[in-house]
């Protein structure tokens, strides 16, 4: 089967959406399918055409940007060509261009599926408001046109004003989560590089440094945590400088972060590749996901931590709370509540063994090839209806 995957940002861009798309694309390839990703050339240094892990990537030049959105004048021509050449189409939303691609899928009678990752909330400002409205309209059109809509959890769907409108098309599939197996020596090497004092408690946060991630909630929780664990260390894994649309957010928190860096309680470990993430998680005592709004729908990093035996703390957001509810490996705290986050951190750090679970069983639920099989079933079902 020839599968066309369409999304605005693909690797090397780092986000939960791009990681999901990459894992699924590679899983399709491993199952013998031919996979093409149509995406933006968001960085001019990236090649327009590239093959990575057996996935053919086609990047369309970007003429201009509106916040995190991109304008690609030649996108439509390439979308028409690729939809005609492929058997099925998978769209990752939110995405402004999705409606046009979905329409092409319908016109050319190609099974077309939307994977809806999260709601879109743009920064303040009149231009951003108009951009947000435009994307919402196009996302709605895409869902009306597409054959099926996939989401991570029923919990998120029931609380999403977008997904509530398309329940008759909705299918729930858990996301693909996989990390490479590495040696004990590699884990120890990571620990020596980033946390020489191995007796100290380590709090992880794995994310883009973005407004919706609620980095300040963790920062504001630290004083109470440090009263009990003075040498506690936060390790922030992920991009944190020059994030598109988030420059002002970083500047607002920079002074407090520098203070904790100087005191030895905060460390940026940078963007980590999959093998490095496999070494990162076992060196944590707890992972924090202090997200603030519905732009977060699940939190793949929670599962990555759990399959390494690490408990999590998550905001009480629809979808985001589900990994902890399903797998009983952590605590759920009110959205934006630094005090409750500090109490949860202290509770887990004092007795982490309470939160250990059978993480091998958890892992089975998220194997990318198993997720790919669920998508194949949907494609096959649509094909039968189209005959």
Answer yes or no: are the C-beta atoms of 29 and 54 closer than 8 Å.
Answer: yes
**pLDDT score, position 70:** 83
**pLDDT score, position 385:** 81
Candidate from 77-91, 169-183, 190-204, 291-305 with smallest mean pLDDT: 190-204
pLDDT tens-place string over residues 346-375:
999 999 888 888 888 899 899 999 999 999
Percent of the chain with pLDDT over 90: 76
State how far the Cα of 146 lies from the Cα of 105, in Å rounded to an integer.
8
Supply the CATH classification number for the domain 2-176+367-386.
3.40.50.2000
pLDDT above 60: residue 123: no
- Could you tell me which residue, 212 or 286, shows the higher pLDDT? 286
All CATH 3.40.50.2000 domain ranges in the chain, comma separated: 2-176+367-386, 184-364
pLDDT above 70: residue 125: no
**pLDDT score, position 243:** 75
CA-closest candidate to residue 284, choices 368, 375, 348, 227: 348
Class of domain 184-364: alpha beta
pLDDT tens-place string over residues 8-56:
999 998 888 999 999 999 999 999 999 999 999 999 999 999 999 999 9
State how far the Cα of 385 lies from the Cα of 379, in Å rounded to an integer.
10
Instruction: Kindly state the average pLDDT of the residues 319-345.
Output: 97
pLDDT above 80: residue 147: yes
Instruction: Kindly state the average pLDDT of the residues 222-250.
Output: 90
**pLDDT score, position 248:** 85
Instruction: Kindly state the average pLDDT of the residues 257-275.
Output: 94
Percent of the chain with pLDDT over 70: 95
- Cβ contacts of residue 176 below 8 Å, gap of 6+? 20, 23, 24, 27, 366, 367, 368, 371, 372
pLDDT above 70: residue 380: yes
Candidate from 131-140, 184-193, 273-282 with smallest mean pLDDT: 131-140
Q: State the DSSP H helix or E strand holding residue 93, giving kind and residue range, or none if neither.
A: strand 88-93
Instruction: Kindly state the average pLDDT of the residues 334-347.
Output: 98
pLDDT tens-place string over residues 156-165:
999 998 999 9
- DSSP three-state, residue 122: coil
pLDDT above 90: residue 96: no
């Amino acid at each position: 089967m020839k599968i066309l995957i369409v999304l605005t940002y693909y690797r090397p861009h780092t986000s939960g959406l791009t990681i999901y798309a990459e894992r699924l694309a590679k899983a399709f390839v491993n199952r013998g399918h031919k996979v093409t990703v149509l995406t933006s050339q968001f960085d001019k240094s990236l090649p327009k055409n590239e093959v990575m892990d057996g996935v053919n990537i086609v990047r369309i030049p970007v003429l201009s940007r509106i916040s995190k959105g991109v304008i690609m004048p030649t996108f439509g021509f390439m979308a028409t060509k690729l939809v005609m050449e492929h058997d099925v189409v998978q769209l990752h939303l939110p995405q402004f261009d999705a409606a046009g691609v979905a329409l092409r899928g319908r016109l050319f009678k190609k099974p077309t599926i939307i994977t809806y990752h999260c709601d879109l909330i743009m920064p303040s400002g009149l231009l951003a408001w108009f951009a947000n409205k435009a994307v919402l309209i196009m996302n709605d059109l895409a869902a009306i046109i597409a054959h099926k809509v996939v989401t991570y959890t029923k919990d998120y769907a029931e609380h999403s004003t977008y997904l509530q409108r398309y329940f008759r098309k909705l299918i729930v599939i858990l996301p693909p989560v996989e990390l490479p197996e590495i040696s004990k020596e590699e884990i120890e090497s990571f620990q020596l590089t980033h946390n020489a004092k191995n007796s100290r408690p380590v709090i992880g946060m794995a994310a883009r440094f973005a407004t919706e991630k609620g980095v300040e909630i963790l920062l504001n929780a630290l004083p109470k945590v440090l009263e009990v664990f003075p040498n506690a260390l936060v390790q922030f894994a992920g991009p944190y400088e020059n994030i598109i649309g988030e420059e002002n957010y970083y500047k607002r928190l920079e002074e407090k972060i520098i203070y904790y860096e100087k005191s030895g309680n905060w460390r940026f470990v940078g963007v980590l590749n999959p093998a490095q993430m496999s070494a990162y998680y076992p060196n944590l005592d707890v992972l924090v996901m202090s997200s603030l709004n519905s732009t977060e729908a699940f939190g793949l990093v929670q599962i990555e931590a759990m399959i390494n035996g690490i408990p999590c703390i998550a905001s009480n957001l629809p979808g985001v709370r589900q990994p902890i509810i399903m797998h009983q490996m952590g605590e759920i705290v009110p959205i934006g509540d630094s005090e409750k986050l500090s109490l949860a951190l202290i509770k887990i750090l004092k007795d982490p063994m309470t939160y250990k679970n059978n993480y091998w069983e958890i892992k089975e639920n998220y194997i990318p090839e198993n997720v790919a099989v669920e998508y194949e079933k949907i494609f096959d079902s649509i094909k039968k209806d189209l005959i």
